[in-house]
Structure 1
Amino acid sequence: MKTKAEFLSLPEELHARILSLLPYRDILRCTSVCRVIRQAYMSSSELQYIVELGGQQLLPVPWTNDNTSISKCLQLLKDKTQAWFKFDIHSFETVSIPAQFHGAKTSLANGHLCLWNEEDDSAKIFPVLPKPSSQTIERDWSPGSLCSLPNARSADVFMDPAQNLIAIAYYVAPNEDEAHLWPDDESFFIELGVLDGDGVHPKAAGRTLFLSELPGREENGFLTESLKLEGMGRHIALRRSLTVDDDAILPEEIWSLQIWDWQNSSTSSSVLSGTTVVQDPDDSMDFCFLGNDRLLIASHNLKLYSIEDMSRAPQLLACFLLPVPVAGIQCLLPMDDIAPSSQLRMQAQQEMWASNPENRLLSLVTFPLNLVFVISTRIFFDLALPEGMEAGIHWKSWGPSNTRIFNHRSRCRVGVSGNRVLQSFPIDDTTEDSAPNSPHRLHMMDFSPSAVERRQGLGRVITEPTTIEVMSDGEKVTLTTSLPYVEVMSDRKFGVDELIEIWVDKDRIYLPKDTAYPHVFDPSINYLEVERLENRSNDALQGCCSSDFWRSTRNVSTN
């Protein structure tokens, strides 16, 4: 009766099964202390796959392709990592863009380019270099066709190809003469539909989402009003803000953020609001979803909220203090590589892994200090708060070991996906952004543990702390950060005005750039230059080049 069954006394086929229930770090610890467990690990593709996913901070996505074995998935995952260490660019393609989308709002989601022209209220979505097995969406909305109501005018548009969802924030003017004016709160709505057809989205609680009143709307003398419509999974959020100048020393931004669980209700009690002093009307707070139940508000500090209970206002979990004051901030956290639920995934997509929302990267671009904060999102989930830190977590308690800080020039070019950041840096540190044809080079930085531990001689491992100096309120401040990463530089040079933006989407890189630079802009030309950025040993890197000023189709050297 006192006999206890030990792990090693169990049948060998159970060893791998039991180990598979452990976190990947615990599996590695077990292999380092027991020869039998190490042998079980070395002979099990499933255990190695679990460890590889954990090391790259990815989540497995259930797939239905029975012809793909675990060993094949393991090899594909290893090839995926190695491909990013070989950063070669050697071909391009060209795609035509309609002229009406010159200067349009442009975004990339799930391999689709999403365009919305506020001027004539037209929109377009189409796939860029689609994979043969991918389900794609291609559709045009002619001017004025986004909203069918009379005197309706779109204020912002959000497209999510993964869920076949389009959300349109619009307002209805009393008459055609007032269609250009901002509306009262009761005239503002969000309409939900499908990208590939007409009618209500089948998973939506209703066609229309209704808004709450924007606080401070009765104030006189507001300068500008702006908004941002964003979504992730079952959540849609709309930020509205107005900048009020009441003869104070600095104007104030009055903002309101309302969040809907659009699949379950057309109304929302989940509302945040506040007032922020701004130095410039263009400065504004920003926000992003960190998963299905957390929201981050970025302003003069970072406030983390729980949105798990949508029947009430978001609950503040923690406030993370930044090391220096910032006047403007932008969140860069693409959501299209987050693991969605199986019911929301497009049928033809057979992805085998996705980014873990609890272990990925958030990039914050700040102005006017011109800093890029690369932050590991694990800090927003492992909330072991020290006593007395509820009001605000000091930078030294959370920032240095979970962050890297880089300088950027007047125009920031940085893309984020999962654990990778792609940023352009001047080749010569003394080169100013305003210098004619200032040469830049792309740096790929991989922050996953597996990249840092097993780079196999590829790239440069950065584990030592780095320090930068900035001027804040007339004083010099030193910022030291130490989040480890592996850096690989491309061998291609870009002019400072040639590269407009950077998008990173899973295994592809998209480089919106001015292909006509330094030539004079020709408004009669409207093209999107598409480049394929590939690893020479496999098809891991692909991308496209576009521009806010669809300029030219001349060939660009890939030397």
Structure 2
Amino acid sequence: MKKSKVELLSLPEELLLYILSFLPWQDILRCTSLCKALRQAYMSSSELQYITELGGQQLLPVFGGHISFSKHLQLLRDKLHAWSKLDIHSFEAISIPEQFCTRTEVTIVSGHACFWKPSMHSCKIFPILPKSLQQSIERDFSPDSLCSVPGQTQSDFDVLNVFIDPVQNLLAIVYVTVIGNGNMVYDEDYYIDLVALDGDGAHPQAAGRTLFLSDLPTHEDFITKSTKIEGFGRHIALRLFDDQPCTPTFASRWWLQIWDWQHSTTSNSILSGPIIDPDFDEIDICFLGNDRFLIVSDHLKLYSIEDMSQAPRLLACFSWPVPFMNLRCFTPTDDIARSSHPQIQAPQVTWISNPEHRLLSLVTRYPDLHFVISTRIFFEPDFVDSEGPATIPWESWGPENTRAFPHQFSCKLAVSGSRALYAFAAAGVQIDDSTEYRLHLMDFSPLAVKRHHQQGLGRMVNEPVYGRTYREEGINDDIIEMWLDRDKLYLLKDRFDIDKMDRFEVIEF
């Protein structure tokens, strides 16, 4: 008996589209070049075009809501062309509270401005543009409200740092209890409190209100110089430096611990190491997703944090072309989805950055450079799945995955998803107290800005696409910091006029 064959093109179109939807986006595009029938099927399907648009822009879908695929597709295509609509002179100005205008650490997270003033142990968070958020948070935290040590007053503890995540409604507070001995004050015990931003109690998803540190040297051997707390999803990391002077017999040290804060208040995920010169050899940290972690130092050291019951496992070391000092890593404002709290995000947000295809920004001193690094290199199986951790020379990974730009006082660089924005003052240009700035936008995603207008297919590109150049008309204003979000550019301006406070300028596009 002769067996019958069912050819792909003989299937009903609905079933054919369903089968194609399981293919990677690159394979869907390849299928469109095989024959007219497959191309026509693709052109009739908003779902397949949406899949290829997501992949080409290096995004992942966020499920939820009842928006059609055609609407999703239009939003994505509008996003790709958004920069053609950018007007640097059309902005909304938001004044900064006077008490936070000096010596304040500022971050932008999920449409919220977060201020931390270490000298006053005070913290403030507020939505920059509340109308663009479904739900927003506005809180002031006084020194007394930042610590929950029973029976102790403000003089009994020292708040070292805070981490704010509006998407998870989370405020993490790093503090140390102190004891006095005559005129000497010693650090005693370190803690991290996890509280809800919109309330005064412990965070409802936390395993407990307080995270406890393990295996930290005693205060006689370990005096805090600086701290950094970083979070991503269910993970929180704390980095500490000691402040001991370097001697032939003693090197300063850094210490790091990572918690799965939703499941345990303790952790065995601990790393530490020496610091040869504490004035220059700063150690920075960065999450690359829920299972990978990066330590920025003399090398880029990639760790696996899948098993939180033990120390992070070193996967690979990526070497620099030359030695650098004072390396700092900056996390994008629109980081990958951190939790199941989408109500704080804008209702039209239906995609997130792919952790394997996004950009990191690093700043180095001596030489002064901005680095833009594609995270894809940290997921390449040829590098990180080899037997034992390998040291990858710069020539094997750097030229194809990084871009470097001069870093000076007037230069700023921000990254968001697969895009980077570089701002710098034009050399020697000063006209009527106005400064000319140049903005360069680079898009590292596979889809170029130019498209086939009729077919609607993307064109693959290998080099960054540079955007327009603008003149910024300001009056003795200086850009203190810059953040790039999905559809907004945030500029923190320094107002030199004594009667004017610092302010945010928010440009929507």
Q: Which residue number corresponds to residue 491 of structure 1?
A: 470
Amino-acid identity (%) = 52
Matched, 1:504 2:504: no
| 1:381-460 superposed matches below 5 A | 381-385=379-383, 390-410=389-409, 412-428=411-427, 439-451=436-448, 454=451
Secondary structure (helix, strand or coil) at the match of 1:173 reads strand
CA gap 1:338/1:83 in 2 versus in 1, 3 angstroms? same
CA gap 1:172/1:400 in 2 versus in 1, 3 angstroms? same
Q: Is the contact made by 1:107 and 1:114 (CA closer than 8 Å) also made in structure 2?
A: yes
Q: Is the contact made by 1:120 and 1:144 (CA closer than 8 Å) also made in structure 2?
A: no
Q: Distance in 2 between matches of 1:105 and 1:181?
A: 26
Q: 1:10: Cα distance to partner? A: 1.7
Q: 1:336: Cα distance to partner? A: 3.6
> Which of 307, 312, 316 is residue 310 of structure 2 equivalent to?
312
CA gap 1:513/1:26 in 2 versus in 1, 3 angstroms? same
Q: Distance in 2 between matches of 1:200 and 1:505?
A: 30
Q: Is the contact made by 2:167 and 2:344 (CA closer than 8 Å) also made in structure 1?
A: no
RMSD, aligned CA? 2.9
Q: Distance in 2 between matches of 1:360 and 1:415?
A: 12
Q: Is the contact made by 2:191 and 2:213 (CA closer than 8 Å) also made in structure 1?
A: yes
Q: Distance in 2 between matches of 1:46 and 1:101?
A: 47
> Which of 139, 155, 167 is residue 160 of structure 2 equivalent to?
155
Q: Distance in 1 between matches of 2:415 and 2:123?
A: 25
> Which of 214, 217, 220 is residue 216 of structure 2 equivalent to?
214
Unaligned runs of 5+ in 1: 464-482, 535-540, 542-559
Q: Distance in 2 between matches of 1:231 and 1:162?
A: 12
Identify the range of structure 1 (287-296 vs 379-388) with the bigger mean alpha-carbon deviation. 379-388
State the Cα deviation string for residues 359-390 of structure 1 (Å, max 9, x = none). Answer: 11111111111112211111111221397894
Q: Is the contact made by 1:91 and 1:531 (CA closer than 8 Å) also made in structure 2?
A: no
Secondary structure (helix, strand or coil) at the match of 2:167 reads helix
Q: 1:347: Cα distance to partner? A: 6.2
State the Cα deviation string for residues 404-447 of structure 1 (Å, max 9, x = none). Answer: 1222224541111111111113434xx599xx987432222121
Q: Distance in 1 between matches of 2:304 and 2:227?
A: 22
Q: Distance in 2 between matches of 1:437 and 1:95?
A: 21
CA gap 1:440/1:216 in 2 versus in 1, 3 angstroms? farther
Q: Which residue number corresponds to residue 456 of structure 2?
A: none
Secondary structure (helix, strand or coil) at the match of 2:131 reads coil
Q: Distance in 2 between matches of 1:492 and 1:76?
A: 29
Identify the range of structure 1 (496-505 vs 10-19) with the bigger mean alpha-carbon deviation. 496-505
Q: Which residue number corresponds to residue 330 of structure 1?
A: 328
Q: Is the contact made by 1:163 and 1:346 (CA closer than 8 Å) also made in structure 2?
A: no
Q: How many residues align?
A: 492
Q: Which residue number corresponds to residue 299 of structure 1?
A: 297
Amino acid at match of 2:187: P
Q: Is the contact made by 1:87 and 1:488 (CA closer than 8 Å) also made in structure 2?
A: no
CA gap 1:388/1:501 in 2 versus in 1, 3 angstroms? same
1 or 2, which has the higher strand percentage?
2
Q: 1:282: Cα distance to partner? A: 5.4
Q: 1:147: Cα distance to partner? A: 1.2
Matched, 1:191 2:171: no
Q: Which residue number corresponds to residue 126 of structure 2?
A: 126
Q: Which residue number corresponds to residue 477 of structure 1?
A: none
> Which of 356, 372, 375 is residue 370 of structure 2 equivalent to?
372
TM-score between both structures, scaled by the size of structure 1: 0.81
| 1:155-174 superposed matches below 5 A | 155-174=160-179
Q: 1:326: Cα distance to partner? A: 0.5
TM-score between both structures, scaled by the size of structure 2: 0.89
Amino acid at match of 1:153: D
Q: Distance in 1 between matches of 2:502 and 2:64?
A: 34
Unaligned runs of 5+ in 2: 454-458
Q: Distance in 2 between matches of 1:357 and 1:288?
A: 12
Amino acid at match of 2:353: S
> Which of 340, 361, 370 is residue 359 of structure 2 equivalent to?
361
CA gap 1:162/1:387 in 2 versus in 1, 3 angstroms? closer
Secondary structure (helix, strand or coil) at the match of 1:334 reads coil
Q: Is the contact made by 2:410 and 2:425 (CA closer than 8 Å) also made in structure 1?
A: no
Larger relative contact order (CA 8 Å, sep ≥ 6): 1
Q: Is the contact made by 1:122 and 1:145 (CA closer than 8 Å) also made in structure 2?
A: no
Q: Distance in 2 between matches of 1:410 and 1:97?
A: 22
CA gap 1:514/1:353 in 2 versus in 1, 3 angstroms? same
Amino acid at match of 2:176: Y
Q: Distance in 1 between matches of 2:233 and 2:387?
A: 34
CA gap 1:425/1:182 in 2 versus in 1, 3 angstroms? farther
Q: 1:493: Cα distance to partner? A: 3.2
Q: 1:308: Cα distance to partner? A: 1.0
Secondary structure (helix, strand or coil) at the match of 1:78 reads helix
Q: Which residue number corresponds to residue 203 of structure 1?
A: 205
Q: Which residue number corresponds to residue 46 of structure 2?
A: 45
CA gap 1:500/1:397 in 2 versus in 1, 3 angstroms? same
